[in-house]
Amino acid sequence: MNLIDFSGDAFIVAFTLYCVAFIMYALAVMGRRFRKRDPEAHLAKWGKIAFVTATIGLIGHLLYFFTRWAGSGHVPVSNMYEFMSFLSMAIMIAFLVLYFIYKKSLLGLFALPLAILIMAYAAVFPQQVQPLIPSLQSYWLGIHVTLAALGDAFFAVGFIAGLMHLLQTVNFSGTDKGARREQRWLELVMFAIVVLIGFILSVYSFRAGGYQAEFNQTLVDPKTENSTIVKVEYNMPPLIAPYQSETESMQSFLGMKSPLMEAPSWMHGVNAGRKLNTVVWSLVTGLILYGLLRLILRKPLAKFIQPALHRLDPDDLDEISYRAIAIGFPVFTLGGLIFAMIWAEIAWGRFWGWDPKEVWALITWLFYSVYLHLRLSRGWQGKYSSWLSVIGFIVVMFTLVGVNLIIAGLHSYAGTD
Amino acid sequence: MSQGSKPLIQNTKCDCGHQNPTGTVLCEACGKPLTEEAEAQPILEMRYDGVARRSQKENPGIIDRVWNFFSSVKVAIYLILLTLVGSSLGTIFPQESTFLNIDPSVYYKEEYGQLGHIYYLLGLSHTYTSWWFVLLLVMIGASLVICSLDRVLPLYKALSRQRIPKHMSFLTRQKVVYQGQVQEDGADWVERIKPIIKKKGYRVRTDGGTLLAEKQRFSRWGPYVLHIGLIIFLLAVLGRNLPGLHMDEHMAFPQDEPVHIKNTSYYLLNDGFKVEFYTEDDMPEEFKGKNKVLPKEFQTQAILYMCEANCDDLDKEPQLVELTRHNIEVNHPLNYKGLKAYQFDYDLTPILRTVSPMLIDSKSGKEYGKITLSINDPQREYQAGEYTLTLTQSFTDFGLGDNGKPVNLSPNPNAPAFLFLIKGPDLPKEGVQYFYFPKQIDKERFNQEAINAQLAGGEALVKLDVLSMDDVDFSESTTYLNIRVDKAMPFIWVGCFIGMIGLIMGFYFTHRRIWLRIDNGTLTLGAHTNKNWFGLRKEISAILKQMNIEVDEKSLENNRGTKHESN
């Protein structure tokens, strides 16, 4: 068995252990309500077991990382699969660091699902080891990418603690305008998370079913008006076909034998139609999933989660959120900006080129410096600060995923088709 | 507090007798809250230790007003937010600078439609060089300088002149508070706790029954050190645009031919270029069979020369002295005293450099003599045996114009052609004209023989022909290098380095202070930190435990705060 295969197995083991640990956390929190034994002891015991399981999962994850490194000969952060796997690992490391400072194992109740989601997202991408193009053949690849991801991971833990703070403090019995607005926005965040799960579920279900459809898309060069025909492959049933395309082949799906509609004309890029189709599918699956959850729980998701957090002190959560961001900020500055500049200077001959990825790294940095100024100089703590940590994480995810998906640039080798 | 109750001129003299400057929130000496606002706070706002900022003067003049504007953190936050939004607008469509040869006034419309055109008209296609963006950066710079100066000097004074005894209302309104009874004499108790606190890394000073313990004060300077780094960085970035500090050229270097680097006395020679591609076996499944060509590495063996003499004289060969050799690869540029050459691109199309054709009698095939013709740099006259060839016209990219006359299509050596006037024995006295195409493909394309027959008015008497491949000299490939000089770079790295040190000081160390006083057997402890309250409470609980006072960490938190939601 070669190292790369072993590494793939370690990945699956880590993923499974994270899932088991998450279930244990859920049992630890919910179990104390059904059982007749001492709830505090129950929580402490199962919280500890869950934490240990998650730590063993992280060891598996590290094993994946280093064996893949040894097997491929380069630090495995060079494509979207490798990067996202690393990010979820970094989130677990950041979670451990914060755990050792504050000893709040319940943080794992939220850190684990985030790591699991990102890991599942990683596995959506092709997993083969790809050879490196010359501009990536540098030890700065490892240093810059891993450190930037680690900074982002601390921001992610800041987001988790901030979200927990919001879930804990939101007032569900309040009927005034402010309370209602908060309830609605928080539920929207929960919905967004469900849509993300919907995306992953739809990718895997259609992959498991082996779904395929092919289109011939006509691309017109605006300058020369020459047209070329490109083959576009779909792995999800085409609710939306590419702009100006003809169906080459299509498996029927629930009696649907032809695409429902064509992508709008301004989405004329090669993969634009497919991406739009994926987004629509994620929303559809997310909506169904959310609807089912609401039917089962009979209350907003945020309201369902709230009691799980009642033992946590909101001030502690607020401080953990701030502390995670305060630890992550210098790491991100060094890895995401300074080392990025040094490498860019060496590889491309300019330390800064306003490439979309660079700009968004700067935006992330500016956003968190606003967060820090508001908190330290203007006393924004508690709710305001927590909302900022949630928005900050959205900015981080846009920088990591959205930029590749929507705006291409020099960093496009980390492609996300 | 109600606006009406604010006195016009604040009385800034504290009960303890200390005269504070206007704008002071907490007495500089004993910490007693001075303003009604501070008085009303259940927990004191400790930022900048309640000292007056430099900008809080009575009667501000114009300069003071500008100063006050930039000294506001609120303004700084707005400036950062505007820069944030501005930068994100620049990523909607690619910037002009990402394209090499485009006319933006047409390009954005063609490529991105009406929205793209509006984007161009708004000037967002060059967001990062537009005046408003540069102005924002300059304003952020001003804000960095002024905000920092405005706070750091008073804070420095306050922290270096701290007095040990503090007012009771200062202690009980800290975020971490403990009150309890002690049996022994206050001064003795304080002497006993002193070494315990010292062991935790604090510097401890006592004054009778009062104590002040402090550690890692330098952490407070972190933000200001960061700001200094950022200022240096911003100055370097803005200063790069000054003339002479910055050069950025993309140049082509055909193999074995020294090329002069503009505005310098350097020449660079491409002494050999190598490229290696990934084989089919190295490729992952998804790339296989798609004929995808993926380069593994490419390298220019470069030699850098300095021109010593004849540099500007076109007729003479420049005298070059070798300075350094380096194999340039992506990620491994040549660097000679700030002149850097980066591998940028390459072209494997061979380029003809010189040909040495033989002048031959068309009928008898008799060879008269060889000439050596340099494609880029032909001579005015050549001698082939007894024959003289005078160059009357040369083309780099030969073509026929609309009127059927020969024209030069471009300065690129795509289709070089030379028109000679040949004189010598057996030829008409005024000579014959002769067109020569060095490349075989052009000879056929433009039908060299027919042209020359026409020029000779019958059959050409002589012809130029290459006899063997040894008489042809190719440059096998061309490498494209990006030549750069950036004299501001060291300042950029220094700025980054200082900023990073500031970040580490500010974020990975915490300034902690503990104040203690004992009044008639009642111990009052107050403590403050700029972050990690959790850790501070833990530390105090451990210290008190050693003095046989058991106290739960969480109970140290001042409960007066929880009743009021902050903000």
Residue of A nearest to B297 (CA): A134
Q: What is residue B3's predicted lDDT score, i.e. its pLDDT?
A: 40
Whether the CB of A377 is below 8 Å from some CB of chain B: the reply is yes
Tell me whether residues A131 and B77 touch, CB distance under 8 A. no
Q: Which of A294-298, A332-336, B331-335, B560-564 has the lowest mean pLDDT?
A: B560-564
Here the tokens at position B362 are 């068309």
Tell me whether residues B83 and A366 touch, CB distance under 8 A. yes
Show which of residues 144-183 on chain A sit within 8 Å of chain B, judged by CB atoms. none
Q: Are A409 and A394 in contact (CB under 8 A)?
A: no
Partner-chain residue, chosen from A131, A354, A376, that has the shortest CB–CB distance to B90: A354
Residue B482 phi, psi dihedral angles, 5° rounding: -105, 115
Strands A261-262 and A240-241: parallel
Number of separate helices (H) and strands (E) present in chain A: 13, 5
Q: Answer whether residue B344 shows pLDDT above 90.
A: no
pLDDT in tens, B476-517: 778 888 888 888 888 999 999 999 999 999 999 999 999 998
The partner residues of B277 in beta bridges, in order of sequence, read B295
CA max distance for chain B: 132
Whether the CB of A102 is below 8 Å from some CB of chain B: the reply is yes
Best mutation target, A315, A331, A385, to test chain B (most B CBs within 10 A): A315
ipTM for the complex shown:
0.87
Q: Which of A355-359, B140-144, B400-404, B420-424 has the lowest mean pLDDT?
A: B400-404
Whether the CB of A415 is below 8 Å from some CB of chain B: the reply is no
Here the tokens at position A201 are 């579920």
Burial of B447 by CB count in 10 Å (0-12 exposed, 13-18 middle, 19+ buried)? middle
DSSP per-residue string spanning B529-547: ESS-HHHHHHHHHHHHHHT
Q: How confident is the model over B144-158, as a mean pLDDT?
A: 87
Burial of B78 by CB count in 10 Å (0-12 exposed, 13-18 middle, 19+ buried)? middle
Show which of residues 290-309 on chain A sit within 8 Å of chain B, judged by CB atoms. none
Residue with tokens 């009150």: B179
Whether the CB of A373 is below 8 Å from some CB of chain B: the reply is yes
Q: What is residue B284's predicted lDDT score, i.e. its pLDDT?
A: 66
Whether the CB of B78 is below 8 Å from some CB of chain A: the reply is no
- Chain B hits for A409, CB-CB cut-off 8 Å, are 94, 98
CA atoms within 13 A on the CB side of B485: 16
Residue of B nearest to A223 (CA): B110
Of residues B397, B402, B432, the one with CA closest to residue B418: B397
DSSP per-residue string spanning B268-319: EEEEEEEEEE--GGGS-GGGTTTT---EEEEEEEEEEEEEEE-SS-SSSPPE
Tell me whether residues B492 and A338 touch, CB distance under 8 A. no
Whether the CB of A376 is below 8 Å from some CB of chain B: the reply is yes
Q: What is residue B58's predicted lDDT score, i.e. its pLDDT?
A: 63
- Chain B hits for A353, CB-CB cut-off 8 Å, are 97
- Chain A hits for B567, CB-CB cut-off 8 Å, are 379-384
Q: Measured between CA atoms, how close is B97 to chain A, in angstroms?
A: 9
Q: Are A217 and A137 in contact (CB under 8 A)?
A: no
Q: What is residue B291's predicted lDDT score, i.e. its pLDDT?
A: 64
pLDDT band with cut points at 50, 70 and 90 for residue B250: confident
User: CA A282 to CA A194: how far, in whole Å?
Assistant: 9
Q: Measured between CA atoms, how close is A50 to chain B, in angstroms?
A: 24
Average pLDDT, chain B: 82
- Chain A hits for B298, CB-CB cut-off 8 Å, are 134
Tell me whether residues B297 and A133 touch, CB distance under 8 A. no
Mean pLDDT by 10 residues, chain A (417 residues): 86 94 87 66 84 94 93 87 94 93 86 94 85 77 93 96 92 84 91 91 87 82 71 84 80 78 72 82 92 91 86 86 94 95 84 88 95 86 91 92 69 40
User: CA A375 to CA A388: how far, in whole Å?
Assistant: 10
The partner residues of B340 in beta bridges, in order of sequence, read B335, B484
Q: Measured between CA atoms, how close is B132 to chain A, in angstroms?
A: 16
Q: Are B361 and B387 in contact (CB under 8 A)?
A: no
* CA dist B116 → A222, A353, B254, B360, B524 (Å): 13, 21, 39, 62, 67
Of residues A71, A148, A85, the one with CA closest to residue A341: A148
pLDDT in tens, B37-73: 777 777 777 777 777 776 666 666 788 888 888 888 8
Q: What is residue A15's predicted lDDT score, i.e. its pLDDT?
A: 95
Q: Measured between CA atoms, how close is B306 to chain A, in angstroms?
A: 22
- Strand ranges (E), A77-212: none
User: CA B46 to CA B170: how far, in whole Å?
Assistant: 10
Q: Answer whether residue B90 shows pLDDT above 70.
A: yes
Q: What is residue A222's predicted lDDT score, i.e. its pLDDT?
A: 62
Q: How confident is the model over B529-543, as a mean pLDDT?
A: 87
Of residues B295, B303, B301, the one with CA closest to residue B275: B295
Q: What is residue B100's predicted lDDT score, i.e. its pLDDT?
A: 66
Here the tokens at position A104 are 């709040």
Q: How confident is the model over B534-538, as a mean pLDDT?
A: 87
Q: Are A4 and A72 in contact (CB under 8 A)?
A: yes
pLDDT band with cut points at 50, 70 and 90 for residue B7: very low
Instruction: Report the first-to-last Cα separation within chain B, whole angstroms.
Output: 14
Whether the CB of B118 is below 8 Å from some CB of chain A: the reply is no
CA atoms within 13 A on the CB side of B349: 8
Q: Are A386 and A162 in contact (CB under 8 A)?
A: yes
Eight-class DSSP state of A260? S
Q: What is residue A392's predicted lDDT score, i.e. its pLDDT?
A: 95
User: H or E stretch including B31?
Assistant: none
Q: Measured between CA atoms, how close is A223 to chain B, in angstroms?
A: 7
Here the tokens at position A206 are 């259609």
- Strand ranges (E), B161-294: 176-181, 203-207, 210-215, 246-254, 259-260, 266-277
Partner-chain residue, chosen from B77, B113, B331, that has the shortest CB–CB distance to A138: B331
pLDDT in tens, B267-277: 888 888 888 87
User: CA B205 to CA B228: how far, in whole Å?
Assistant: 32
User: CA A407 to CA B209: how far, in whole Å?
Assistant: 66
User: CA A203 to CA A278: how far, in whole Å?
Assistant: 8
Q: What is residue B206's predicted lDDT score, i.e. its pLDDT?
A: 86
Q: What is residue B4's predicted lDDT score, i.e. its pLDDT?
A: 40
Whether the CB of B547 is below 8 Å from some CB of chain A: the reply is no
Planar angle of CA B158, B164, B166, nearest 5 degrees = 85
Q: How confident is the model over B529-536, as a mean pLDDT?
A: 84
Q: Answer whether residue B562 shows pLDDT above 70.
A: no
* Residues near A400 by beta carbon (within 8 Å), at least 6 away in sequence: A83, A87, A152
The torsion angle over the Cα atoms of residues A288, A292, A295 and A296, rounded to 10 degrees, is: -170
pLDDT band with cut points at 50, 70 and 90 for residue B83: very high
Planar angle of CA B250, B252, B253, nearest 5 degrees = 130
* CA dist B125 → A362, A412, B100 (Å): 19, 20, 14
Composition of chain B by helix, strand, coil, percent to 5: 35, 30, 35
Q: What is residue B314's predicted lDDT score, i.e. its pLDDT?
A: 66
Eight-class DSSP state of B343? E
Q: Are B112 and B92 in contact (CB under 8 A)?
A: no
